[in-house]
Structure 1
Amino acid sequence: MRPVTLYSLLRRTGQSHTARWRPEAISADTARRLIRRGRRSKAAISLYETTDRQGVALHVAHVHFGPELYDGADFVTDIYEIPTAALTDL
C-alpha cells in the first residue's frame, strides 16, 4: 500500500513567493497525529474524498495554519494525500 504523502507550503511575511518542501512519505498514524495537532492549534482543516489518476480512492486533508501560529509567516499549509485503504486498515 502506498504511504501518506505530505506536502508543506510556507509564505514568509513580506515575501511574494511560497516556499515548498519536497513531498514526504509518512505513515497513516503520523498523519493522523499531525492533523489532530492542527485541530488543537485551531488551524482550518478541510477534508476531501477523491481519486488519483489511476482511480485509487484517497482522502486529501488540507491543514491551514494562520499567521498567529508562526512568527514571520503569513501562513503555513500542510496537504496530506491519504489512500483510503490506509484509513480502513487501521
Structure 2
Amino acid sequence: MRPVTLYSLLRRTGQPHTQRWRPEALSTDTARRLIRCGRRSTATVHVYETTDRAGTPLHIAHVHFGPELYDGADFVTDIYEIPAGALTSL
C-alpha cells in the first residue's frame, strides 16, 4: 500500500510565481491529523473522491490557508493524495 502523498504550494505576497515543494510521503494517521488541524483553523478544506490514471480509487484533500495564517504569503495550499485502501485498512 502506498502512503499518502502531500503536495505543498506557497505564493508569497508580491511574487508572480507559486513556490512548490517536492512531494512528501506521509502516513495516513499523520495526514488525518494535519487535515483535522486545517479544519480547526481558518483554512478551507475540501475532500474529493476520484480515481488515478490506473483506475485505483483515491481521495484528494485540498487544504487552503489564506494570508491571515502566514505572514508575507498570499496563500499556502496543501494537497493530500490518499489511496482509498489506506482509509479502509485503519
Identify the residue that residue 13 of structure 1 maps to in structure 2: 13
The answer to whether structure 1 residue 30 and structure 2 residue 30 are counterparts is yes
Secondary structure of the 2:68 match is: helix
1:40 is displaced (CA, Å) by: 1.1
- Which stretches of structure 1, 4 residues or more, deviate above 4 A after TM superposition? none
Distance of 1:56 and 1:45 partners within structure 2: 23
Secondary structure of the 1:55 match is: coil
Distance of 2:37 and 2:13 partners within structure 1: 23
CA RMSD between the two structures: 0.5
Distance of 2:54 and 2:2 partners within structure 1: 13
1:29 is displaced (CA, Å) by: 0.3
Identify the residue that residue 57 of structure 2 maps to in structure 1: 57
Distance of 2:47 and 2:20 partners within structure 1: 21
Question: What is the letter of the counterpart of residue 63 of structure 2?
Answer: V
1:42 is displaced (CA, Å) by: 1.8
TM-score by length of 2: 0.98
Count residues in correspondence.
90
Q: Which runs of 5+ in 1 are unaligned?
A: none
Distance of 1:48 and 1:36 partners within structure 2: 16
Distance of 2:23 and 2:40 partners within structure 1: 24
Q: Which runs of 5+ in 2 are unaligned?
A: none
